[in-house]
């Protein structure tokens, strides 16, 4: 109790808490760095973490695009797919511009080269799509991006002569390490590093003037424009930027780092909806929150495949064991839907938001200002309702 009291007093100011928050964050990063060295962990656990990192990148970049910039896109998976497919096609077929007389043989393109080109093309498509989307808002934008990603998926599936169809497309392996354990170790650090780098870059963008402008546009595009924010430039910019991030993540992940081939099923609306659900549950407006949401949600979806309900002591089930085993099947997705709906309704900023807010000390500042405002509360005019 005494310890708790002392603890509470040290964290009772914003700076202390923030410091404490950095320590916790550091510990989490240290845990991830140490994790693959734990000899008791199997390669499978690392594989799960690797795909967790991948989805964390997807969810956090979607949070940047939708939560911070307010561009409600369902095309995120498609951009990921563009990165991966372009990288794969280029490494397989090379680049040929017959009319310009350019022909680069596939052998002369390294895996890294293919990934870079894939990333650039994803950014380029992001540029075009971002430009097309300038006139569209909210529901229209969501619908258009759904159409775009469905078209892309159908094309990848139908033009199987080029894309491999539902057999998927193998990318050139990024790493050539024979030993499975070492390879997994390296893949783990590679993907984790990519996640950290992406988070840092996105964090930097979100906290730069650009992030400020994006949030202003999210709140009210017309008002932001009237305040001199070049809404066209930043809207396109954020599409290009997030497309490149997910294009890169896709190209790397499918270059035999997390998976050895990309299949069109990965681009289905369901997969996209899972990303959105991760981000919503973790917190749409926080990059770290969305990343953690993806990581935790995936873990939970995995862990709740089978739910064991232990019976009180002395009771047994008909087969003599002390617990019921419930194969959750589709129920766990149904539950996931419920969590998503309730999160949206009652904890708009995600389940992790209170924790993040607490560490940031933001609520203390709020309390102060609220009390200040109350003190000179002699105005009878009421806050206006939503500006929407």
Partner 1 sequence: MSNINLAVNRVSKRFGGNQAVDHVSFSVTKPELIGMIGPNGAGKTTLTNVMSGMIKPTSGAIYLNGKRIDGHPAYDVTRAGLGRTFQITRALGRMTVLENMMVPGLAHRPGANRSALEERAREILALLTIEHLTNEYSRALSGGQRKLLELGRLLMLEPSIIILDEPFAGVHPRLQETIYQYIHRVHEDGKAIILISHDMGAVFELSQRLLVLHHGALIADGAPQDVKSDPAVIEAYLGHDEED
Partner 2 sequence: MKRNALFISLIVLLAMTTLLPVSVLQADGHCEFADETITIGGLAPLSAPGAVAGGVAMDWAFNQAADDINADCGVQIDGVNYQIDVVTGDSEGSPERGQAVTERLIQEDQVDAMVGVYHSAVGLATMGMLEANQIPTVFSEPWNDNVSANGIREFDGAPPRFEDGIDHIFRISPASSMVGSVVVDWLLSLGVDDVVLIVENTDYGQPAAADEAARFEAAGATVSKIDVELGTEDFVPILSRIQARAEAPDVIRILVTGETSFNLTQQMSELGIAPTEDTICVTNQFAFQSDQYWATVPDGNYCAFNRVGIIPSLFSDAAVELNAKYEEAWGDIIPSFAMASYDAVYILADAMERAGSSSDAAAIVAAIEATDLELSQGRYYFDYGAHNPDLPEGTPAFMWHQWPDPIVTVMQYYEPGQSGLEAAVVYPEVYQTHGSSYIVPGTSP
Partner 3 sequence: MIIQDTLFVLWLLAAGPVWAAIGMFLLPSVNKGSADKDQISTTTLQIAGVISGFALGPLGIGLFYFEPALIRRTTLSAGIVLTVFVSSQVLARVIDPELPSGLWLILAGPLWAALAAYFLPRQYRAVEANDQNVLTAAALGGFAIGPLIFGLMWQRTPKISRDWMIALGSLGAWQIYTLFAIHNPANPCVASPFHVTYLTQQTANGIVIGAIYSLMAVGLTLIYSVQGIVSFAHGQLYMVGGYFSFYFLMHSSNFLSDLTGAEISINPILGIPVAAVIVFIMGALFERFFLKPMHEGLIERVSEYAILITFGFGFFIEYTTLAIAGPFPQRTDRFIEIRRFTLQRAQITDDFAFGPINIIGDRAFAMVVGVILIFALLYFLQRTWTGRALRATSQDRQAAAVTGINPTNMNTLSFGLGSMLAAMSGAALIPIFAWVPWVGAEMVGRSYVIVVLGGLGSVPGALLGGIIVGIVEALGAGCHPDPSRGAAYKEAFALVIFALVLLLKPTGLFGREQT
Regarding 29 and contact with partner 3 (CB under 8 A), the answer is no
Residues in the chain, how many?
388
Binding partner 3 (rule: CB under 8 A), the pick from 105, 158, 182, 367 is 158
The item of partner 2, partner 3, partner 1, none sharing an interface with residue 369, based on CB under 5 to 8 Å by kind, is partner 1
Regarding 329 and contact with partner 2 (CB under 8 A), the answer is yes
The item of partner 2, partner 1, partner 3, none sharing an interface with residue 139, based on CB under 5 to 8 Å by kind, is partner 3
Residue given tokens 């990921």 in the structure block: 80
Name residues contacting partner 1, limited to 65-94 (CB under 8 A): none
Regarding 154 and contact with partner 2 (CB under 8 A), the answer is yes
Regarding 55 and contact with partner 1 (CB under 8 A), the answer is no
In the complex, minimum distance from the CB of residue 134 to partner 3, in angstroms, rounded to a whole number: 10
Name residues contacting partner 2, limited to 162-201 (CB under 8 A): 165-168, 170, 180
CB 54 within 8 A of CB 198: no
Regarding 367 and contact with partner 1 (CB under 8 A), the answer is no
In the complex, minimum distance from the CB of residue 381 to partner 3, in angstroms, rounded to a whole number: 16
Regarding 280 and contact with partner 3 (CB under 8 A), the answer is yes
DSSP string, 109-168: S-HHHHHHHHHHHHHHHHHHHHHHGGG--HHHHHHHHHHHHHHHHHHHHH-HHHH-GGG-
The helix/strand/coil state of 189 is helix
Regarding 154 and contact with partner 3 (CB under 8 A), the answer is yes
Rounded Cα gap, residues 68 and 214, in angstroms: 7
Integer distance in angstroms from the first to the last C-alpha of the chain? 48
Rounded Cα gap, residues 350 and 370, in angstroms: 23
Rounded Cα gap, residues 254 and 259, in angstroms: 5
Name residues contacting partner 1, limited to 185-224 (CB under 8 A): 209, 212-213, 215-216, 219-220, 222-224
- Binders of partner 2: how many residues, by CB under 8 A? 53
Phi/psi at 169 (nearest 5 deg)?
A: -120, 125
């Amino acid at each position: 109790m005494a310890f708790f009291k002392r603890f509470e007093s040290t964290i009772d100011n914003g700076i202390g808490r923030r410091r404490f928050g950095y320590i916790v964050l550091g510990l989490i990063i240290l845990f991830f760095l140490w994790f693959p060295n734990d000899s008791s962990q199997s390669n499978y656990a690392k594989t799960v973490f690797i795909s967790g990192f991948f989805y964390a990148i997807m969810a956090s970049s979607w949070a940047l695009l939708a939560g911070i910039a307010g561009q409600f896109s369902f095309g995120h998976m498609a951009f990921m797919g563009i990165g991966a497919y372009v990288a794969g096609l280029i490494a397989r077929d090379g680049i040929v511009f017959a009319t310009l007389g350019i022909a680069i043989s596939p052998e002369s393109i390294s895996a890294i080269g293919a990934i870079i080109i894939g990333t650039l093309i994803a950014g380029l498509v992001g540029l075009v799509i971002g430009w097309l989307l300038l006139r569209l808002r909210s529901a229209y934008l969501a619908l258009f991006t759904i159409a775009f990603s469905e078209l892309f998926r159908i094309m990848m599936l139908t033009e199987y002569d080029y894309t491999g169809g539902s057999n998927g497309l193998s990318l050139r392996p990024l790493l050539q390490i024979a030993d499975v354990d070492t390879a997994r170790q390296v893949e783990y650090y590679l993907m984790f590093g990519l996640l950290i780098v992406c988070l840092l870059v996105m964090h930097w963008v979100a906290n730069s003037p650009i992030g400020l402008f994006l949030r202003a546009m999210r709140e009210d595009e017309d008002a932001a424009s009237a305040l001199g924010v070049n809404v066209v430039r930043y809207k396109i910019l954020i599409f290009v930027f997030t497309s490149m991030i997910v294009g890169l993540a896709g190209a790397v992940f499918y270059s035999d780092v997390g998976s050895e081939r990309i299949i069109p099923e990965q681009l289905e609306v369901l997969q996209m909806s899972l990303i959105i659900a991760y981000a919503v549950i973790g917190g749409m407006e926080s990059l770290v929150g969305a990343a953690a949401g993806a990581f935790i949600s995936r873990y939970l979806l995995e862990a709740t495949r089978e739910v064991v309900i232990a019976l009180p002591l002395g009771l047994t089930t008909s087969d003599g064991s002390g617990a019921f085993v419930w194969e959750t099947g589709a129920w766990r997705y149904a539950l996931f839907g419920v969590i998503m709906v309730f999160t949206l309704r009652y904890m708009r900023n995600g389940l992790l938001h209170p924790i993040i807010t607490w560490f940031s000390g933001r609520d203390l500042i709020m309390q102060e200002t609220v009390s200040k405002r109350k003190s000179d509360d002699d105005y009878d005019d009421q806050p206006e309702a939503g500006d929407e």
